[in-house]
Structure 1
Amino acid sequence: MKALKKSIYAEYDVHDAFQKIVLLEMQSYDGTKKQQLKAFLEDMQRSGCISGMISQFIYHADCKKFYIEHLDDLEDIRKEIEDCLGEAVKDRYGLPHYTFMCWLCFEEYCYDIYRNSFE
């Protein structure tokens, strides 16, 4: 899908894994592919990973496995986010670091796609 290729995070290997998750999760929405993507991304912005809407990131064990597999990319994305914000990103929920990182980076990835495709 063209919209997913526009991400500023497309240079990272984790982009492929995130893209697969988005393509899988958006299938439960009605409409054209573009309408499905928009509805999914809007839900993600409203509810976030904490809502349990991303089946791959519900359990800490799954997040830990994903984090270990994509550690460098996830930490680099966090650094990029912090550089843009000019401050450290805080884990407000006291999550395990690996869960926090999966949620943070996936949500940012989704927001970036929305911003580039629908705003």
Structure 2
Amino acid sequence: MKALEKSIYAEFEVCQAFNKIILSNLGSYDGTKKEQLKSFLEDLQNGGCMSGMISEFIYHADCKKFYIEHLDDLENIREDLEDSLGEPVKNRHRMPHYTFMCWLCFEEYCFEIYRSHFE
């Protein structure tokens, strides 16, 4: 899917894992691939990972494993995000750092795709 390849974060290997998660969720949406992607991204914007819609990131143990596998990329995405915002991103819900990082980076990656392709 072209939209997933054109992300400003595409240079990070973790995005391949993010793309697999996105693509595995599209089947539950109607329409063309592009319409499915838009609906999925809109649902994510409404509920976020906190809603439980991303099965890979429901349990802290799964997030911890994912974080350890992709630690450098996730921390670099957070740094890029903080640079663009001009301030640190806060873990307001006081989640374990690894869960916070998985949710933050996945949501940012998805929101960036939405902004660049559907707004």
Paired residues in the alignment total: 119
Determine the C-alpha separation between the residues in 2 that align with 1:47 and 1:11.
Answer: 27
Of the structure 1 ranges 25-34 and 68-77, higher mean CA displacement relative to structure 2 is found in 25-34
| Aligned residue type for 1:80 | D
3-state SS in 1 of match to 2:99 = helix
- Correspondence for 2:56: 56
Determine the C-alpha separation between the residues in 1 that align with 2:62 and 2:80.
Answer: 24
Identity of aligned residues (%): 73
Report deviation, 1:94. 0.6
- Correspondence for 1:93: 93
- Correspondence for 2:3: 3
Matched, 1:84 2:84: yes
- Correspondence for 2:67: 67
Determine the C-alpha separation between the residues in 1 that align with 2:46 and 2:74.
Answer: 22
Matched, 1:47 2:29: no
CA RMSD of aligned residues (A): 0.5
Determine the C-alpha separation between the residues in 1 that align with 2:25 and 2:58.
Answer: 13
TM-score by length of 2: 0.99
**Any stretches of 5+ residues in structure 1 without a counterpart?**
none
| Aligned residue type for 2:57 | F
Which stretches of structure 1, 4 residues or longer, exceed 3 Å deviation after superposition? none
TM-score by length of 1: 0.99
1:32-56, CA deviations, whole angstroms, 9 ceiling, x for partnerless residues?
Answer: 1111000000011111000000000
Report deviation, 1:12. 0.4
Report deviation, 1:27. 1.4
